[in-house]
Structure 1
Amino acid sequence: MAALSLALTALLAGAPGAGADEPADAAARGPRLYVPDPNPDALRQVVDLVKAGQYRDAAGVAAMVATPQAVWFGDQTPAQVEKLTRDVVKDADRSDATPVFALYNIPGRDCSNYSAGGAANTAEYRAWIDAVARGIGSRDAMVVLEPDALALLPADCGQDDAEGTRTAARYVEVNYAVDTLEPLRGTRVYLDTGHPGWHAVSSIVPRLIKGGVGRASGFYTNASNYQTDDANSWYGKLISSCIAYVEGGGDAADCPSQSVPRAEAQAWLDAHVHVPPSRMAHFVTDSSRNGQGPWTPPAGKYTDPQDWCNPPDRGLGARPTLRTGDPLQDARLWIKTPGESDGLCLRGTEGPEDPERGYLDPKAGDWFPQQALELVRYANPPVL
């Protein structure tokens, strides 16, 4: 067992994870992103791969978990999340790194689907956000606030009443989180847009504005999805430009969406948006699993392909960085924890197996060894 522990330590030490896309010189690298403790089942997989003599796969999974990625909180009590958040920011501070928190506790989370849960009501959510704020304190942090909270409102999934009570509450909750966390000395808060294959720019921008994006650092796109870096960056630019246009008195319905030819959309931006990037909403993107782009399901095979749910043969994307070269893009992150399942994917069948894989997927958030290996083997750029 000692030999296996030594092998695992060597694999992790040699893994080209943290800062893989940053300059090699530490002085030139500037701010770094935080590497959280890995899922224990990921380490067990590495050990099992070493035992089986699959050293390259073991090194790949080790490299994956040694790469900066978000820390997810969502089902803890206020006391628990305050302590855990404080522990993370203190640990990150010791290594001069910035942690990324994915906060996932909004009431009615995920429309009560695979990742159902969240706070019971607005008062409970406020208490939870207050606890997160106390945990962060004055230390640096980036907050990816409530994936799907704005892209998937209660009204979008039939969970609201005729008066729109729950959707109205959703906006109150998101605004409260922005107004509580963004004023912290070192915290930057980003709001949900879904991804470029979902909402049109003219659809998501009013939601962002109503959610308080004007008082946040900006927004994020592609959390837990597979859209390419190019698609995400363009989507982010269009959204940021549309927000600026609306804040200047324009109508979001006039903004070009991602489906418009780029030359045409750029001409519209040149004619209508004259705000410097420093005064526009910034954005971050998720490249954790987009190395092979989105999955195209077999035509006509499934009534509900669930192309977002554990699609086969995807790969890790470009490594996280705070140096994007884009004045509007603050970071490229690994928001979704690569290697953790999206849920029990049935793709419109009776199941219980995932028909695309031929076996039962782990429940949402559990470690998925087969997918972890796919992400490593199909990584673009390679992890080794």
Structure 2
Amino acid sequence: MTARARTRTLSVAAATAALAAVTAAAPAHAAAPAHSAPPAALYTPPSDPGAQAQILDLLRHRQLKDAAGVLAMTLTPQAVWFNGGGTPADVQKSVQATVASAARRHALPVLALYNIPGRDCAQYSAGGAADTADYEAWIDAVRAGIGDRPADVILEPDSLALLPSDCGMDDAQGTRTAERYDQIHYAVDALEPLAGTKVYLDAGHSGWHNVNDIVPRLIAGGVGDATGFFLNISNYRSDAELAWYGKLVSSCLSYVSAGGDAAACPNQYWPTADAQNWLDANVTTAPSAMKHFVTDTSRNGQGPWTPPAGVYSAPQDWCNPPGRGTGARPTLATGDPLQDAKLWVKIPGQSDGQCTRGTAGPDDPERGYQDPAAGAWFPQQALELERNADPNPLP
């Protein structure tokens, strides 16, 4: 054997050992227990084929640390997205396969449902069901697929924070926005009563709508009949900022349910001490009786990106921002009585879309090349996320 061959053999062996160590440390694919009990962990679905290809490419180039990092990222519990497409029977079968796979591993699946008519205001992730009847049939299929198995449902990201009325897609009577509220409420009524299902509605994030604006939207969407709401899907706001915003939203929902006016609630722009004094004086509901929330920590380890001042007419700070990192690992033990979980809902490594930041494009001027389409694997960003992770995802 030549020296070069021996070196290559040792490199492959080292890579195998490194990846095996990461795999052994990941809890996601443990054998299913013999008894029936509430899920003890969050579910990890099969990884994106693009991630698998990137890991192999990194191994071929002997970049073992990065290969192990991307692998660790893919072995972290993440949501399973259902974006529409196929017949109701196809949807039911796909959802059923996911919840059954999770049940075999004694794990809780997180299902991100993303098929609302007029999705994403016909922008990067345009699509969705054709109309209300089509959407309701799709939700019925999801319900049948879940059955009596446990599942947490992230119901339609951007559906309430980005209404048809927000993007010029509505008529003067607000018909499409009213339909949107009805569609969301239909889904809540269909899914929340299932034995093991918790449904969370879209509340955007702390850098988008203020509390006084998002609370009426949540109420109109049926949050009163849901477990609660979700924050920061596909975004980058910090954990502390989200926890405070979530507390303010939950408290305002409680205040309104007791007859108060959402306009009177403190929002995230109030001085913290003033807001807390208001909560102490006006909200006496026990946390167990309030609406709870979950947050997406998949890419917020470095917090939000601050675009360079005066450079871009439309910086798109949410769209594949540079230098970000994965955040807190998913957990059902947050230590916050109002926060049910920290989750990885957005799949880290999947592109937000082709970001031009107000330029003629097609290149992303922050990167000097064209970003992949929304949902496609983005190898360069995947490396950024694993290298800049806080906390570091490696054992």
For normalisation by structure 1, the TM-score amounts to 0.95
Q: Say if 1:8 and 1:46, in contact at 8 Å, map to a contact too.
A: no
CA deviation after TM superposition for structure 1 residue 242, in Å: 0.1
C-alpha distance in 2, partners of 1:368/1:289?
A: 14
Q: 1:14 — aligned with what? A: 22
**Which amino acid in structure 2 is aligned with residue 43 of structure 1?**
Q
Structure 2 portions without partners, runs of 5+: 1-8, 29-37
**Counterpart Cα distance in 2 of 1:225 and 1:17:** 25
Shift of 1:6: 11
- Find the counterpart in structure 1 of residue 120 from structure 2: 110
Give the match for residue 253 of structure 1: 263
Contact 1:12-1:66 at 8 Å conserved across structures:
no
Distance 1:42 1:377 in 2: 15
Name the structure 2 match of 1:336: 346
Within the candidate set 137, 145, 148, 1:135 is matched to: 145
Instruction: Give distance in 2, aligned partners of 1:153 and 1:30.
Output: 34
Partner of 2:72: 63
What is aligned with 1:54?
63
Q: Is the 8 A contact 1:129 1:177 kept in 2?
A: yes
Per-residue deviation, 1:11: 1.4
Percentage of pairs with the same residue: 64
* Correspondence for 1:215 among 225, 233, 257: 225
- The structural deviation recorded for 1:268 is 0.4
Local SS of the residue matching 1:143: strand
> What residue in structure 2 maps to residue 23 of structure 1?
none
Runs of 4+ more than 6 Å apart: 2-6
- 1:351 corresponds in structure 2 to 361
Name 2:184's counterpart in structure 1: 174
State the structure with more CA Rg.
2
Q: How many residues align?
A: 375
Determine the structure 1 residue equivalent to 2:155: 145
TM-score by length of 2: 0.92
What is the CA–CA distance in structure 2 between the aligned matches of 1:280 and 1:6, rounded to whole Å?
A: 51
Shift of residue 383, structure 1, vs aligned partner: 1.4
Q: 1:4 to 1:294 in 2, by over 3 A?
A: same
RMSD between aligned residues:
1.9
**Partner amino acid for 2:176?**
R
Q: CA deviation at 1:5?
A: 11
Q: Secondary structure at the match of 2:349?
A: coil
C-alpha deviation, 1:31, in angstroms: 1.8
Q: Deviations over 1:242-275 (max 9, x none)?
A: 0000000000000011111111100000000000
Alignment of 1:299-318 (within 5 A): 299-318=309-328
Q: Distance in 1 between matches of 2:13 and 2:290?
A: 49
Q: Distance in 2 between matches of 1:95 and 1:140?
A: 12
- Structure 1, unpaired ranges of 5+: 20-28
Instruction: Give the match for residue 22 of structure 1.
Output: none
Letter in 1 for 2:143: A
Which of 229, 237, 244 is the aligned partner of 2:239? 229
Contact 1:17 1:68 in 2 (8 A): no
Q: Deviations over 1:309-364 (max 9, x none)?
A: 00000000010000001111100000100000000001000000000100000000
Report whether the alignment pairs 1:271 with 2:281.
yes
Distance 2:26 2:292 in 1: 26
Residues 18/153 of structure 1: CA separation in 2 closer, same or farther (3 Å cut): farther
Q: Is the 8 A contact 2:211 2:265 kept in 1?
A: yes
